[in-house]
């Protein structure tokens, strides 16, 4: 494999890295006045990277042409699918970001550059086929995330969120690194194919401990129970656009990283990790639902909603079949649309002085002052709850169907029963917005860009989204076919 081919297959990471360095120089020379220009160019670079990934989507994992730098990196359909979601989500969030910081005049061009480098790290994570490549991508993504969480330096909540995320994130990275060292010690390889071959010959207790450590560290990255404790505090304290980013793009990257690890190097030892995934799935569904019930802050509630949704994705992974992986990818695509729409609606909730509204008391009677926004939130919340005929129901359906097809009927039944609990706090949105008396005066107008993003998301999660079931199913199946030989 020539370096030219390797550079081509890593084109998104190379291109975004070059764009990030150029925009960093523009930021340094131009100062704060270039923030809008840098944001636009960053969004354009991310959309361009998504288009490039779409062109690579047809590559099969078995083709030597898709492998780069000695199989440290693989440009396959699975990685391309995940990266399209990552880049589109990051670009969409950038579109609704600047106005949030306009009230405090704290927006700087470094913000979109940090998101750009974060995207580079996430791209490496989902395409890595070597433990060293994975760890480099993971750290590149994490380091910029810590800065983004504490971007509002004058806000104590933001500083606290950044510190908590840094400390706990460093702990999770250490856990992953220790697991990696154990796996390398017992297999003599950091390459995924080498690890799978070594496990096929002998899977010792030490190797099992390494697998458990790696999965535990990754559970933190996806905020699965019992490693979810950081999520509500970071989501509440970080600036709302940053919270929206954390809940979408890094979530996709972390889940795709976890799926690739489970279904590629660990594919021959499903029995060793399936019970861990099942526990994390059911615990995340229950804890996420119960934890959200008593919340009054909307961002904390959506944090528990994120934990809850991760549980449903893990049910698809627990099936350990191509259908299960396809279900996870379908769920991720729908989840990204629902989450971006939800946080965009929150960003549109401001009082007359321009202050952000973040509690249930703030949205009381919203249907009387801003009925269109209230109805959009209703659709998004019902979709997150999985209530038909909204498209969020389809995401849950495909993962439960995969579990049933894998003869895990009990897991699917428990998951369905537990999902009923989550409907309570989503319905609370409706009760407060449509049946309570208004307590705050809200801003009556929002920028066109916010309405565009919200409108697209609401259209995708509405019954119109079912027109995408066939193409989305085909794309997800193609992404899952990458692991067919390993299963």
- What is the band of 202 on the pLDDT scale with cuts at 50, 70, 90? confident
What is the spatial distance between Cα 402 and Cα 383, in angstroms, rounded to a whole number?
Answer: 20
pLDDT for 63 equals 46
The token pair that represents 162 in the structure block: 């950044």
pLDDT at 153: 78
Average pLDDT over residues 238-260: 91
Average the pLDDT over each of 155-164, 336-345, 441-450 and give the range with the smallest value.
441-450
Is the pLDDT at 444 greater than 80? The verdict is no
Contact at 8 Å (CB) between 148 and 115? yes
pLDDT digits (tens, 9 = 90+) for 373-415: 889 988 998 898 888 889 989 989 999 999 999 888 988 888 8
pLDDT at 387: 86
99's tokens: 């106005």
Rounded mean pLDDT of 165-174? 89
CA distance 28 to 277: 45
Distance CA 266, CA 358 (A): 42
Please say whether the beta carbons of 342 and 435 come within 8 A: no
Specify the higher pLDDT residue, 355 or 395.
395
pTM for the model: 0.93
pLDDT at 438 over 80: no
Query: At 65, is the pLDDT very low, low, confident or very high (cuts 50, 70, 90)?
Result: low
Rounded CA-CA distance 289/310 in Å is: 11
The CB density around residue 30, as the number of other CB atoms within 10 Å, is: 14
| 359: helix, strand or coil | strand
Q: What is the pLDDT of residues 207-245, one digit of tens each?
A: 889 999 999 989 888 888 888 888 888 888 888 899 999
Instruction: Indicate whether 52 pLDDT > 80.
Output: yes
Give me the numbers of helices (H) and strands (E) for the chain, helices first please. Answer: 22, 2
N-to-C CA span, the chain? 26
Q: How confident is the model at residue 64 (pLDDT cuts 50, 70, 90)?
A: very low
Tokens 């919203």 correspond to what residue?
366
Q: Return the half-sphere exposure (C-beta side, CA atoms, 13 A cut-off) of residue 48.
A: 14
Q: How distant is the alpha carbon of residue 245 from its chain centre?
A: 8
Share of the chain above pLDDT 90, in %: 36
Axis-axis angle for helices 298-319, 392-405 (nearest 10) = 30
Query: How many CB atoms are located within 10 Å of the residue 51 CB?
Result: 12
- CA 109 to CA 35: how far, in whole Å? 4
Residue 263 near residue 320 (C-beta atoms within 8 A):
yes
439 has a pLDDT exceeding 80 = no
Q: What is the pLDDT of residue 126?
A: 92
Q: Mind listing the pLDDT tens digit for each residue in 270-320?
A: 888 888 899 999 999 988 888 888 888 888 888 998 999 999 999 999 988
- The residue-averaged pLDDT of 137-141 equals 90
- pLDDT tens digits, 23-50: 999 988 888 888 889 999 999 999 999 9
Alpha helices in 222-248 (DSSP H): 230-237, 240-246
Is the pLDDT at 486 greater than 60, yes or no?
no
One-letter-per-residue 3-state SS of 398-455: HHHHHHHHCCCHHHHHHHHHHHHHHHHHHHHHHHHHHHCCCCCCECCCCCHHHHHHHH
SS3 67: strand
Instruction: Supply the mean pLDDT for the chain.
Output: 87
pLDDT reading at 61 higher than 50? no
CA dist 418 and 308 (Å) reads: 10
Cα–Cα–Cα angle for 448, 373, 455, nearest 5°? 50
Q: What is the pLDDT of residues 85-112, one digit of tens each?
A: 999 999 999 999 888 887 776 788 889 9
Task: Report how far residue 475's alpha carbon sits from residue 77's, in angstroms, rounded to the nearest whole number.
Answer: 9
Mean pLDDT of 131-157: 88
3-state secondary structure of 125: helix
Distance CA 420, CA 314 (A): 17
Helical spans, DSSP H, in 57-109: 77-95, 98-102
Residue 62's pLDDT is what?
A: 43
Q: Specify the pairing of strand 67-68 against strand 73-74.
A: antiparallel
Report which of residues 396 and 62 the model is more confident about.
396
């Amino acid at each position: 494999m020539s370096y030219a081919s390797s550079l081509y297959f890593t084109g998104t990471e190379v291109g975004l890295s070059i764009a990030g360095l150029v925009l960093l120089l523009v930021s340094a020379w131009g100062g704060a006045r270039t923030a809008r220009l840098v944001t636009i160019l960053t969004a354009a670079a991310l959309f361009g990277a998504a288009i490039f990934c779409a062109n690579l989507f047809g590559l099969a994992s078995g083709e030597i042409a898709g492998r780069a730098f000695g199989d440290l990196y693989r440009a396959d359909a699975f990685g391309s699918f995940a990266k399209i979601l990552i880049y589109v989500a990051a670009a969409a969030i950038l579109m609704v970001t600047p106005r949030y910081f306009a009230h405090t005049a704290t927006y700087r061009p470094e913000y979109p550059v940090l998101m750009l480098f974060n995207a580079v790290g996430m791209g490496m994570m989902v395409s890595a086929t070597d433990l060293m490549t994975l760890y480099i991508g993971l750290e590149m993504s994490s380091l910029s995330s810590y800065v983004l969480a504490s971007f509002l330096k004058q806000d104590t909540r933001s500083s606290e969120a950044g510190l908590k995320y840094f400390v706990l994130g460093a702990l999770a990275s250490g856990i992953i690194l220790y697991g990696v060292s154990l796996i390398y010690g017992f297999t003599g390889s950091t390459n995924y194919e080498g690890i799978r071959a070594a496990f096929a010959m002998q899977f010792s207790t030490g190797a099992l401990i390494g697998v458990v450590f790696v999965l535990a560290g990754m559970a933190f990255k996806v905020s699965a129970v019992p490693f979810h404790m950081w999520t509500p505090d970071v989501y509440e304290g970080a600036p709302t656009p940053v919270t929206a980013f954390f809940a979408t793009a890094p979530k996709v990257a972390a889940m795709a990283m976890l799926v690739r690890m489970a279904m590629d190097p660990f594919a021959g030892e499903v029995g060793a990790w399936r019970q861990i995934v099942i526990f994390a799935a059911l615990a995340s569904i229950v804890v996420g639902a119960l934890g959200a019930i008593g919340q009054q802050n909307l961002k904390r509630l959506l944090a528990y909603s994120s934990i809850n949704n991760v549980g449903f994705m893990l049910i698809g992974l627990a099936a350990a079949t191509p259908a299960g992986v396809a279900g996870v990818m379908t769920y991720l695509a729908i989840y990204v649309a629902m989450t971006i729409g939800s946080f965009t609606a929150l960003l549109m909730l401001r009082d007359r002085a321009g202050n952000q509204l973040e509690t249930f008391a703030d949205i009381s009677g919203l249907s009387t002052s801003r009925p269109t926004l209230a109805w959009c939130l209703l659709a998004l919340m019902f979709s997150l709850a999985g209530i038909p005929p909204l498209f969020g129901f389809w995401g849950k359906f495909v993962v439960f169907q995969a579990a049933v097809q894998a003869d895990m009927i009990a897991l699917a039944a428990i998951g369905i029963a537990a999902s009923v609990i989550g409907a309570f706090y989503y319905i609370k949105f409706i009760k407060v917005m449509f049946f309570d008396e208004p307590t705050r005066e809200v801003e009556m107008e929002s920028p066109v860009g916010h309405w565009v993003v919200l409108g697209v998301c609401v259209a995708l999660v509405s019954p119109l989204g079912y027109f995408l079931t066939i193409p989305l199913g085909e794309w997800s199946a193609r992404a899952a076919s990458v692991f067919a030989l390993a299963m």
